[in-house]
Homo-oligomer: A and B are copies of this chain.
Amino acid sequence: MLSKKTKYAFHALTYLGKHREQKTVLIQDISEEYGISHKFLENILLELKKAGILGSKKGKGGGYYLIKEPIDVPLSKVIRLLDGPIALLPCVSLNYYEPCVECKNEEKCGLNKVMIQVRDEMLNILENKSLADILDKE
């Protein structure tokens, strides 16, 4: 399951996407809209900024804003950023690979093979669907 952090990130991105006509959006506006702790949300927005998805402006009249077009923000990127691996096993993760500690031979692991398939199907959707697809519905 996706963590709250990731869900909050999607909420924030949705909010920012819906208010693109504004130059900036305050953290507080988002945190009030979804009932997210101001400080917790701050950390999340900061991560999104470091990842090049958001920009921010300090001082009076400042706030956060989308720096990318919604279609250029794949869902997979957001999930990986906040939640880590998308794969169901560390040994099939593309971005966070680790061998399974109790696995003797990855080559001969049947579970590994199936989980590669699952990962690929998940990525097939999550890499190709973007923030734009989410905004459309709202």
Q: Which of B10, B87, B126 contacts A118 (CB under 8 A)?
A: B126
Q: A34, B110: Cβ atoms under 8 Å?
A: no
Q: Could you mark each residue 1-28 of chain A with 1 if its beta carbon is under 8 Å from any beta carbon of chain B, else 0?
A: 1100001001100100000000000000
Asked if A67 is at the interface of the complex by the 8 Å CB criterion, the answer is: no
Interface size of A as a range: 35 or more
Kindly report which residue of chain B lies nearest to residue A136, judged by CB atoms. B110
With A7-B102, A109-B137, A109-B138 known as contacts, the answer to whether A114 contacts B129 (CB < 8 A) is yes
Q: Which of B7, B117, B135 contacts A100 (CB under 8 A)?
A: B7
Q: A1, B137: Cβ atoms under 8 Å?
A: no
Asked if A59 is at the interface of the complex by the 8 Å CB criterion, the answer is: no
Q: Which of B35, B90, B100, B110 contacts A138 (CB under 8 A)?
A: B110
